[in-house]
A and B are shown apart, each in its own frame.
Chain A
Amino acid sequence: MLYSEKVLDHFSNPRNVGEIEDADGVGEVGNAKCGDIMKMYLKIDKGVISDVKFKTYGCGAAVATSSMATELIKGKPVEDALKLTNAAVVEALDGLPQVKIHCSVLAEQAIKSALSDYYTRQGIDPLPIVGEIKEPEE
């Protein structure tokens, strides 16, 4: 399994690990049976993601994609986070092995899941804004 230096860096020194007690949105995707779970916490002030934390159970790529995804959205407007794609996460990590691409999809979905929760808490239907959260197939 060939991981890029960036993947190994984000795996060994993951950014933004942890929880946010008073998060405005929390999302969790994946399941332990498949070997990957990502949990994202968002703090949102005036439409901007002021803080983001994650916890991940999974392989090196799962940890690295979670870490990179949080870096890519931290300090950005919610609109930007909504547009984050798994491909952008992969690119920022200088690529992923083919069999690990699903980890980047999971990272994208984890952020969307947290944003859905944020909108739901605001009394706004998240579906038209965020779209459906895809769960990995068992």
Chain B
Amino acid sequence: MDKRSIYADNAATTAVSEEVLNAMLPYFRTAYGNASSIYKLGRDAQRDVEAAREKVAAALGAAPAEIFFTSCGSEADNWALKGTVETMAKKGKKHIVTSVFEHHAILHTAQYLEKHGIEVTYVPVSDKGLVSPEDVKNAIREDTALVSIMFANNEIGTIQPIAEIAAVCHEKGVLFHTDAVQAVGHVDIDVKKMGIDMLSLSGHKIHAQKGIGALYVRKGIVLPNLIHGGAQERNKRAGTENVPAIVGLGVAIEAATKNISEKNVSITAKRNRLIDGILKIPYTRLNGDRDKRLPGNLNISIEGIEGESLLLMLDMYGICASSGSACTSGSLDPSHVLLSIGLKHEIAHGSLRLSIEDDITDEDVDYILEVLPQIVDKLRSMSPVWEKMMKGESYE
């Protein structure tokens, strides 16, 4: 079989689409005005920034005035948490609730806040990778300022019961934020119907460029600035607007949120064929709920091998993938997400994440299913862990 080139790591980042790139190009050399300038070049830039804001708002069921552009998803997360805490601490609310398997943009921000006197409750997740609204409800206290639960997990792709979680928050009068970086463009989102007070998103996961994100903040919520300076973003987020990136995000989010359910049918079918094919390899398991997950995501643990080796081998066959192995992050511990759903360290080290989109072909799926078992065999044949497993010995 000829070597193919398959990008199966769309949860890490995506290529800028042609449509997005073309929309962005005029803003580098021709329409390069500063959106704060008074002359036409500036006014045009401002008009186009506002048009992009309308597109982002429309994609989420929000009003344009509720959308604030940021430099990335992490900035949006930082802003939502730090900003809400700053405001609410003045009212004596010094507690936030989040989950153990959030993205580090949330977890490390929460840990930072802990160092500054905020108490944090990290609700657990089930072995299927789902947060229980009941657990969130029980974690909320009198002094809870905010609940932040991710919309879909970045590693195992599980989609959380966001509307139910938002409902228990509102029942208790607590604000609800969600990091929807992985969900936007893959799941239908309506912030009003779902009761979301704040939502973070990122451009480069949906074929816009890296370095652009947005925070939706429901009307009525006033966040203090994270970045001080000029009057951009209605005085809430200083810094000259990244006009090409903002325009690109507008185009990208419009395209990504069009016909989501239609697109998902074919992606899900291919993803399921990958899951079923890979699970034929003995001593493998699917991580995360099979149905309540992003259509393009699969995360499978393969016993007896280590993730980074697996990724390097896949790369040699032209397949770009990801793993929750410690070695890929340079730390000693494997992914906190895989540990949070109860995986042992040694199982978590051997995990594989594929995140596909509709550009993947049936031939690509065939190729992955042909190549992967060969790689696993090769790595297992040189693995002392596999040797012990086959002899029925403990390797822990």
Contacts and interface: CB of A to CB of B under 8 A. Distances in A.
B325 interface: yes
A56 B378 CA distance: 12
A63 B349 contact: no
Given A12-B316, A32-B396, A59 B387 contact: no
Interface residues of A, number: 30
Nearest to B312: A60
Given A32-B346, A33-B345, A37-B385, A59 B306 contact: yes
- Chain B contact-residue range equals 20 to 34
Contacts of B383: 37, 55-57
A24 interface: no
Contacts of B345: 32-35
A34 B309 contact: no
Contacts of A99: 330
A103 B381 CA distance: 20
B316 A58 contact: no
B195 interface: no
A60 B327 CA distance: 9
A59 B308 contact: yes
Chain A interface SS verdict (over half): mixed
Interface in B297-321: 304-309, 312-313, 316
Nearest to A102: B332
Contact of B384 (A33, A34, A39, A97): A39
Contact of A57 (B305, B313, B316, B330): B305
A14 to B, nearest CB: 7
A14 B305 CA distance: 16
Interface in B370-396: 381-387, 395-396
Chain B interface SS verdict (over half): helix
Given A32-B345, A35-B349, A60-B309, A1 B382 contact: no
B334 interface: yes
Interface in A1-55: 1, 8, 11-12, 14, 17-18, 28, 31-39, 55
Contacts of B71: none
Given A59-B309, A59-B325, A60-B309, A33 B387 contact: no
Interface string B338-381: 00000011100100000000000000000000000000000001
Contacts of A8: 312
Contacts of A18: 382
Most buried by B among A32, A59, A62, A99: A32
A63 B378 CA distance: 12
A58 B349 CA distance: 9
B253 interface: no
A111 to B, nearest CB: 15
A56 B307 CA distance: 13
Contact of A55 (B305, B308, B334, B387): B387
A97 B396 CA distance: 27
Contacts of A35: 306, 325-327, 332, 334, 345-346, 349
Contacts of B284: none
A43 B233 CA distance: 71
A63 B313 CA distance: 12
Contacts of A60: 308-309, 312, 327
B14 interface: no
A32 B387 CA distance: 13
B332 A31 contact: no
A94 to B, nearest CB: 17
A12 B312 CA distance: 8
Nearest to A136: B332
Interface string A55-84: 111111111000000000000000000000
A11 B306 CA distance: 13
A56 B382 contact: yes
Contact of B306 (A39, A55, A57, A100): A57
B109 interface: no
Given A32-B345, A32-B395, A57-B384, A63 B309 contact: yes
A97 B327 CA distance: 11
Given A32-B345, A35-B345, A59 B385 contact: no
* A-B residue pairs, 8 tightest by C-beta: A59-B327, A32-B346, A99-B330, A59-B308, A57-B383, A39-B384, A57-B385, A33-B345
Interface of A: 1, 8, 11-12, 14, 17-18, 28, 31-39, 55-63, 97, 99-100, 138
